[in-house]
Amino acid sequence: MPMATAPHWDSVALLVIDLQNDFLDGGALEAPGADEVLKPVDRLLTAFRLRGRPIVHAVRLYEPGSRDVDLPRRTAVANGAQLVAPGTSGSQIPAELLPHPTDLEAERLLSGLAQYLEPREIVLYKPRWSAFFGTSLQVALRQWGVDTVVVAGTHLAASPQATLVDASERDLRTVLVVDAVSGTSPERLGDLEDIGVRLLSVDEVEAALSGSSGTS
């Protein structure tokens, strides 16, 4: 793969996509395999925190009765369905993925502002699939001097894939952590490789961050 797409590990950020309670087993928007990526994502978060690299948790918040929702769920939410609804337990990020116990500040997030968990770890509300659509993500990445994004979360065919495509269109170097995202398939992974996305494991990302891997 060309060097132009090789990750720069000294200017990298981690994007965790849609890992909220409603997407886990038994949740209102259960995504198959989401529970299985919690431990791998926790390992990534630990590695990025240890090295002081930026982290962004991109979340969904559907206000019951609203029509400002992606099309597949718009009718249900407009009719009052409780799907990652602000203030509910289903909208929260699983506690094990947070640096300390924290509830989402729904009003702040819905207004477009970031919620800071740590100086370089934030939560952003995204109104559609991509973490770049209608958010301040690109501004935050530029302020942090980031040119490489590592993506994990759920469900690959939806928000992670849309985020990776939008990142590529912004000339960012992209990595998908294949054992830290749900909903993978050989076809989906092959399509992402075709647009320059590097496919790595948690082990490989940890090694690269520590400077002991040749993947950079």
The alpha carbon of residue 85 and the mean position of all alpha carbons in its chain are separated, in whole angstroms, by: 18
pLDDT in tens, 114-138: 999 999 999 999 999 999 999 999 9
Average pLDDT value for residue range 140-158: 97
Residue 1 scores a pLDDT above 70: no
With respect to residue 75, please indicate whether it lies within any of the assigned structural domains. Answer: no
The answer to whether the CB of 206 falls within 8 A of the CB of 47 is yes
Could you give the CA distance from residue 68 to residue 133 in angstroms, rounded to a whole number?
Answer: 13
Q: Domain tally for the chain? A: 1
Residue 161 scores a pLDDT above 80: yes
Residue 212 scores a pLDDT above 70: no
pLDDT of residue 95: 97
pLDDT of residue 3: 79
pLDDT of residue 215: 39
pLDDT band at 211 (very low <50, low <70, confident <90, very high): confident
With respect to residue 101, please indicate whether it lies within any of the assigned structural domains. Answer: yes
With respect to residue 196, please indicate whether it lies within any of the assigned structural domains. Answer: yes
Which structural domain, as residue segments, surrounds residue 138? 3-60+93-209
Average pLDDT value for residue range 109-113: 97
Answering whether pTM is above 0.75, one says yes
pLDDT band at 4 (very low <50, low <70, confident <90, very high): confident
Average pLDDT value for residue range 93-116: 97
Tell me, what CATH number does 107's domain have? 3.40.50.850
Give percent of the chain above pLDDT 70: 97
**What are the beta bridge partners of residue 17?**
58, 153
pLDDT in tens, 31-51: 999 999 999 999 999 999 999
With respect to residue 12, please indicate whether it lies within any of the assigned structural domains. Answer: yes
Residue 104 scores a pLDDT above 60: yes
With respect to residue 67, please indicate whether it lies within any of the assigned structural domains. Answer: no
With respect to residue 83, please indicate whether it lies within any of the assigned structural domains. Answer: no
